[in-house]
Structure 1
Amino acid sequence: MIVFFNICILLFANIDKERQLTIGYEVASDTQGIYELLYSEEAFEEGNINVASEKYKDISIEQIISYKIPTATRYIRLDLGNSPAKINIKNVKMKYFWYTENLTEKIFINNLEIKDIDSINLEDNDISILSIGSDPYILYKIDEASILEINKVDDSISYMFKILICILITSLGIVFYKTIPSIKSLSIELMNNKKLIWTLARNDFKTKYAGSYLGIIWAFIQPIVTVLVYWFVFQVGFKAAPVEEFPFVLWLIAGMVPWFFFNDAIMNATNSLIEYNYLVKKVVFKISVLPIVKIISALFVHLFFICFLMIMFIGYGYMPNIYFVQTLYYSLCIFALVLGISYMTSAIIIFLKDLGQIITIFLQVGMWMTPILWDFSIIPETYQWIFKLNPMYYIVEGYRDSLINQVWFWERYNQTIYFWGVTISLFIVGTVMFKRLKPHFADVL
């Protein structure tokens, strides 16, 4: 099966991605100004032009100007400030991973058009320019030889990415094969005790608030109050604007609902063996069901909030569509992620009580490291990959894709592969750890 999947990936998988290349140069001028790069996939026409800009600040001091543009770009226009000036540019380079090309001479000789430039001269890779208007620029078409080289690099990167996926799948397959006995026995225990799991989960949910006047209503009040507090602070207090022209409160709650489930499930599942220690000490009881009991108990509240989400969206005039169904998939993602983590944490906390405090701190930091209260687009592209390593990024953005952006999860194939790779790895490690420590639980408790 592993060989079959690897062959399919190598031969048929399409992992083309909108990647970016860099256009950069060194500039020195006797006047400050805004240096823009206009770019397009086709001949420049109004409506198909994109703009990237940098500011030249220090007069007569050499400054590196660079722009990120899509690899599909064919036409570029260097806008050299916005007032008459003496300008010197050199080392106009186009970079794409390991491919680098110096465009200085090509731009000087093969440019399609220049404007508001009195004189332009090339000497030793330096272009000296005397601009005379408010919109001096040089228009250049990237030649076919450069495009061919970029495509070769792109093909190499795609193939390397496929190889890495194959290595990941093979590694997971080998680990999975070696841990099949532990996983198989755990799966059998869960399947054979599904009625017990359901009964315990339902009772756990009911008894959690037993004795209070409002009972299980408290399970819903606290998250709602939390959402209202954050909404008041950010929208009323800080005057947060709509995110991508979407009401802020809907954008906010779409990110907070999955985090509530993750936070509640991971904390309760971690302490499940300690809370039910009287069952752990019974020889005949299958204690492997306890973490999943706590997760299902938290799931009841989560399903309520999914319905609450839909009501809020309807109230704002956004009617449910087929993408809303995808929230159930992302709920499954949280369930699987928490289950893998909780088998580790519930086993370790018995021997290391400090783990509970560590997880609390981790969750506090994790909430702010996940784009729940802030828009991910504010992070510079250079550092975005670091935040994407967080599995909850995939889930939070997935809820917004389902409710707001209308994007299917398979359209984000690279993040989906990464998430399930991490989740399956955590589940394998958690299962093995739980099984090995299990014989010592009763003695320590």
Structure 2
Amino acid sequence: MHDIRALRADPAAFDAALARRGLAPRSAELLVLDEERRTAITAQQEHQQRRNALAKEIGQLKRGKADSTALEAEAVALKGAMDELESRSTILDRAIRDALAELPNRLDPEVPDGPDETANRVEHVHGTPAEFAFIPRQHFELGEALGMMDFPGAAKLAGARFTILKGSLARLERALGQFMIDRQTLANGYEERTVPLLVNEATIFGTGQLPKFADDLFHTTDDRWLIPTAEVPLTNSVAGEIIPQSALPIRLTALTPCFRAEAGSAGRDTRGMLRQHQFGKVEMVAITTPEQSDAEHLRMVGHAESLLAELGLTFRRVLLCAGDTGFSAARTYDLEVWLPGQQAWREISSISNTRDFQARRMNARYRPAEGGPAYLHTLNGSGLAVGRTLIAVMETHQQEDGSIVIPPVLAPYMGNIDRIG
């Protein structure tokens, strides 16, 4: 959420920030609404002052047994005008809030300009894409040949964009999730939480999914929303609170199912399990001060990268450009893993600093050692998406006979077997 006071102070900068996102200027219309609202509030306050003065005059007249009829009529008229002004200011306040709620976060200055992913900037590459003595297969070819990945069976139960995993592949998916959550809690210092998978509208609004992305979410008949990521309940755990600075940073993690309608993905990644309506993910969330959020962002990126390195995967770190950065983010690093079967880089983790954008929507603040409450900074990222990591492990560690070598770090979670075949 944007601060109307910042817009008021520098409307040109506000419109320039929107222009970087490819959006039209909005400051003029918002300032008109803001001026009308402030005028209504000022008039309401002036009317209240007049009513207070009238009350004294009426009291004096009545004590002197003089006629106060005219002044009482004026007081009644003022009360009616005040009610109208209050209603008007409330309507204007809601209009401003609704308009601001649909506008994305301001981008950090170092975010590259550009309309789409073609302008993203590769900042680091880990490893070299493996060379195979055979033509590497895609994950769904491997999984189906093993008899452990069933797409028709899932479609019979639930429709498109679902998968049934069987036997050792099901165990490998579970092993990956457990490995990730163990690393985040035992090595990286995150507190594990079990969170609701269904949340209310205020919660899904707080992290920026509503109102703009309602079509990408699953909405229940009792007006709840299935979480698209554990970022939503984890970040909202501080909604409406004032956290003492001594309690910061707060670092939280959860391994949950996630649900996405994929409304804008018709025809994309229809084969396999790259883009599913339901998938597992380990989420990292950090809640901290403005002074610490840049360092926290890089810390989180390092945690996700270390998981990929331990799994023996080739990946690269990419700074997203203006046109590819998500709605709530001020700056985002994507980690992209090399998939030999696809011969392509695919996103496996997205780690964002939202600055105070989400905190304003949630009214989440902290109390510094000196001065009044200030808005927190919130960060979130995948650590990692379990299904996509399963795909990367399968394609990276596949053998010519169709078997899949288990990365050594997963052996304890897999009963110490060294391959699936």
> Same fold by TM (over 0.5)?
no
Larger RCO: 1 or 2 (CA < 8 Å, sep 6+): 2
Structure-2-length-normalised TM-score: 0.29
Higher helix share: 1
